[in-house]
Amino acid sequence: MTVLETAGSSLSLGEGRCRRQMGEVISQPKTIFFMSSARKKAVDTVINREVVAPRLTGAKVSDYYASNVFNDKAMRDHLSDDAYKAVREAIKTGKKINREVSESVAQGMKAWAMGKGANSYTHWFQPLTGATAEKHDMFFTPKGDGAIEVFSGDALVQQEPDASSFPSGGIRATFEARGYTAWDPNSPAFIMEIGDGKTLCIPTIFISYTGETLDYKAPLLKSSHFLEEAALPVVHMFDKDATRVTATLGWEQEYFLIDEALYYTRPDLMFTGRTLVGHSPAKGQQLEDHYFGTIPERVYAYMLDFEQECHKLGIPVRTRHNEVAPAQFECAPMFEEVNVAVDHNQLLMDIMERVARRHKLRVLLHEKPFAGINGSGKHNNWSMGTDTGKNLLSPGKTPKNNMLFITFFVNVLKAVSEHADLLRASIASANNDHRLGANEAPPAIISAFIGSYMSNVLDEIEKRVAPGKYDELSNANLKLDIHNKIPDVMLDNTDRNRTSPFAFTGNKFEFRAVGSSANCAQSMTVMNTIMGNQLVNFKAEVDKLVKDGEGKDGAILRVLRGYIASSKSIRFEGDGYSDAWEKEAKKRGLSNVKTTPYALDFYVSKKSKDVFVKNGIYTERELEARYEIMNHSYVLKIDIEAKTLADMATTVIVPSAIGYLNTLIGNLKGLKEVGILGTAGKSQKDLATRIAAHINAIQDGVAKLEAAMEAAHKAKTTSDAAKAYCDKVKPLFDVIRNEADALEQIVDDNVWPLPKYREMLFIR
């Protein structure tokens, strides 16, 4: 009889495949088996899982698409003509909706929502915790002997959640806990279905009693508005008909899936979203056989399920595929106006997590759940479009349209080169630090890839537009040349550079350094702001030249020429993952800030304050508060990781290593007893010595970790604390991890307590 069988009978291990897979092991004391029983049970559970059938209705997507959204059609059906017009107008111009109209909208919205089975409502907002927040109220109110359902205009427009526990960065003392949520009519209300419950959700901004923004959405809206105001006069140089310019965003969302049973046996995954220990399996992603491979059936069922939920909410997800790493996947929608796209991405992450539970899966949105395996990002495809149907980053069919395109294109490059540091700061997070520059994601250096065609076009402008005196005739030729050249760009999708953090992909820029769990608004607010700021400068420079007597086209080309020359240092067409680029970037004077606490400093630099405060995106107080909040969040994250690691090392890993060490010692004693220790015991003695050394090193590492945390707590400011956590606490994670991973490789697999990478990544 094998010990596994003995242990199995006494500890009621799962039957069947798990046991066969684990194989037969001899001479293990029962007690040691007890330690790893959780892992074995989990693996057994996973192996025996059935596919959970998706709850598909069988209908075409078009039959239920956006059925839970109070969209234009629903508004037309449920609002009076006047109310409908007022909401449309508010969306278009940002004009306030008066009380009477909001009352009427509330009645229509309530009727629609109740018709769909909703009996409660909530303001839905995006505080700086990173998650979305909601506080449900029911429609009913007691009246006489019974109750009636009510929803007032005031309740639609404004709510006052008890906001004392949301981060405010010192703006709002806890004794003045008031914060307001205010209706954002730009993003349509929707009905969230959770089980049988249905709730009307109203997208809102979140602001303090004194008016400071405390969320992601309010600054994003301000930045979009600012960009529009700045872009319109520039568009009008070429196209008089446009009356609106909107920023567009199409995100791509990467994620990992792991089975719930394995998730629950890993305290690190539960508390931090990533594995703090775990040795890479022999087979990782090196064969690249997972990328775009067949989607496993369980995962496919999950995808169908969450896609359907998305479609009911009007989230246009259309693409699904396997990603590079094992157990990694991606989904992407059609692009939308940036505010709606951000809301949809936040909703998607929420839906993905909820639907995963139905399938006994956990979705990992962490930027780097597994060391040595690719992490997850969120590619933000960003562009601008007019209400006349032009994508401002798409080459057109006429010389004039191509000048419009070139103008916006070059201004993007100029904006990015001026404010690369802010873009870097906008993607900074404790999680994303693991990913940036780790040979799988763009480095912490912000550069732009534009492809060989656009490089040639820009070179041509730079060469042929004389910096000094102006020649209108050669300008006209250049314009024609630009026109003849550019259409090729559209055909040229081949020289895409996947290693660039900011790449032009034919009709949009793709910001690839955004983290998978991030709120897209953070980076999109920066993008809109720096672009708006740049366009204001551009217009002023052109106007000045024209005032001084230069022709309009000449002036435009001349200013662009200057930008092409001065933004050159951020253009890089080579391998962004290479060491050579790091060296080259240094020579060019580009910054390469690898960790969050240092990147966040850019938010409060003079340059940052200038561009944000001047353009009305953040006040100085708001910037300082955000800086405080982001540093604080960094400290909290690393602190939780440190505590979790110390706990796992001390109470899970060391004890099981000691257990195995005892087995070895027992065996050595036995060998001695029968008189063959000298010949047969050498390797076991070595092994026991190595195990003991790793155990010592772990305990030593944990002691140092605790001391470093204590020291970091004494820092005077939050930003100093964040830096101490980054420089002094975090490096000890690797020290402890290396020892733990070394143990994982020599301790008997049967007693190892934590699910291994091969189990988390390869069992479907």
**Minimal distance, residue 523 CB to ligand ADP, in Å:** 13
**Minimal distance, residue 383 CB to ligand ADP, in Å:** 4
List residues binding Mg ion (CB under 5 A).
Answer: 379
Q: Are strands 328-333 and 361-364 parallel, antiparallel or unpaired?
A: unpaired
3-state secondary structure 296-320: CHHHHHHHHHHHHHHHHCCCCEEEE
Site string for ligand ADP, 367-396 (x = CB under 6 A): --------------xxx-------x-----
What are all long-range contacts of 702-705, with beta carbons under 8 Å and residues at least 24 apart?
Answer: 702/646, 702/649, 702/650, 702/736, 704/732, 704/735, 705/642, 705/645, 705/646, 705/729, 705/732, 705/733, 705/736
Nearer to ligand ADP by C-beta: 506 or 753?
506
Nearer to ligand ADP by C-beta: 391 or 592?
391
Among 155, 189, 220, 249, binds ligand ADP (CB under 6 A): 249
The yes or no reply on residue 505 touching ligand ADP (CB under 6 A) is yes
Q: Which of 379, 390, 395, 392 is nearest to 506 (CA)?
A: 395
Q: What string of DSSP letters covers 247-272?
A: EEEEEEEEEEEEEHHHHHT-HHHHHH
The yes or no reply on residue 490 touching ligand ADP (CB under 6 A) is no
The interface region with ligand ADP, picked from 142-150, 243-251, 515-523, 756-764 by CB under 6 A, is: 243-251
Distance (Å, rounded) from C-alpha 433 to C-alpha 746? Answer: 30
Instruction: List the single partner that 744 binds among ligand ADP, Mg ion, none, CB under 5 to 8 Å by kind.
Output: none
Nearer to ligand ADP by C-beta: 183 or 251?
251
Among 37, 67, 455, 507, binds ligand ADP (CB under 6 A): 507
**Minimal distance, residue 88 CB to ligand ADP, in Å:** 23
**Minimal distance, residue 312 CB to ligand ADP, in Å:** 20
Nearer to ligand ADP by C-beta: 507 or 619?
507
Instruction: List the single partner that 268 binds among Mg ion, ligand ADP, none, CB under 5 to 8 Å by kind.
Output: none
Instruction: List the single partner that 335 binds among ligand ADP, Mg ion, none, CB under 5 to 8 Å by kind.
Output: ligand ADP
Residue nearest to Mg ion (CB): 379
Q: Which residue matches tokens 């209908």?
A: 59
**Minimal distance, residue 346 CB to Mg ion, in Å:** 20
Q: Which of 276, 256, 515 is nearest to 363 (CA)?
A: 256
Question: 256 near 275, Cβ under 8 Å?
Answer: no
The yes or no reply on residue 335 touching ligand ADP (CB under 6 A) is yes
Distance (Å, rounded) from C-alpha 715 to C-alpha 719? Answer: 9
Nearer to Mg ion by C-beta: 379 or 737?
379
Instruction: List the single partner that 505 binds among Mg ion, ligand ADP, none, CB under 5 to 8 Å by kind.
Output: ligand ADP
Question: 435 near 441, Cβ under 8 Å?
Answer: yes
The two three-digit tokens of residue 93, written as one number: 């111009």
**H/E segment holding residue 4:** helix 3-11
Put residue 117 in one of left, alpha, beta given phi > 0 → left and psi -120 to 50 → alpha: left
Interactions with ligand ADP, residue window 295-334 (CB under 6 A): 332-334
Nearer to ligand ADP by C-beta: 89 or 337?
337
3-state secondary structure 174-216: CCCCEEEEEECCCCCCEEEEECCEEEEEEEEEEEECCCCECEC
**Minimal distance, residue 449 CB to ligand ADP, in Å:** 13
3-state DSSP percent of the chain in helix, strand and coil, to 5: 55, 15, 35
> Which whole-number Å values give the CA distances from 643 to 268, 429, 506, 730, in the listed order?
10, 19, 47, 11
Among 8, 169, 179, 250, binds ligand ADP (CB under 6 A): 250
The interface region with ligand ADP, picked from 145-153, 205-213, 504-512, 560-568 by CB under 6 A, is: 504-512
**Minimal distance, residue 531 CB to ligand ADP, in Å:** 13
**Minimal distance, residue 379 CB to ligand ADP, in Å:** 7
**Radius of gyration in angstroms for the set of CA atoms belonging to the chain, rounded to a whole number:** 29
Classify burial at 444, counting beta carbons within 10 Å of its beta carbon; exposed 0-12, middle 13-18, buried 19 or more.
buried
Nearer to ligand ADP by C-beta: 179 or 395?
395
Looking only at Cα atoms, what is the longest distance across the chain?
105
Instruction: List the single partner that 383 binds among ligand ADP, Mg ion, none, CB under 5 to 8 Å by kind.
Output: ligand ADP
> Which whole-number Å values give the CA distances from 165 to 129, 168, 393, 519, 644, in the listed order?
10, 9, 42, 19, 24
The yes or no reply on residue 291 touching ligand ADP (CB under 6 A) is no
Binding residues for ligand ADP, rule CB under 6 A, total 15
Nearer to Mg ion by C-beta: 181 or 497?
497
**Minimal distance, residue 323 CB to ligand ADP, in Å:** 12
Q: Which of 287, 534, 489, 498 is nearest to 396 (CA)?
A: 489
**Minimal distance, residue 560 CB to ligand ADP, in Å:** 22
Among 102, 181, 199, 248, binds ligand ADP (CB under 6 A): 248
**Minimal distance, residue 451 CB to ligand ADP, in Å:** 13
The yes or no reply on residue 572 touching ligand ADP (CB under 6 A) is no
Classify burial at 82, counting beta carbons within 10 Å of its beta carbon; exposed 0-12, middle 13-18, buried 19 or more.
exposed
The interface region with ligand ADP, picked from 24-32, 65-73, 247-255, 701-709 by CB under 6 A, is: 247-255
Contacts with ligand ADP, residue ranges (CB under 6 A): 248-250, 252, 332-335, 381-383, 391, 505, 507-508
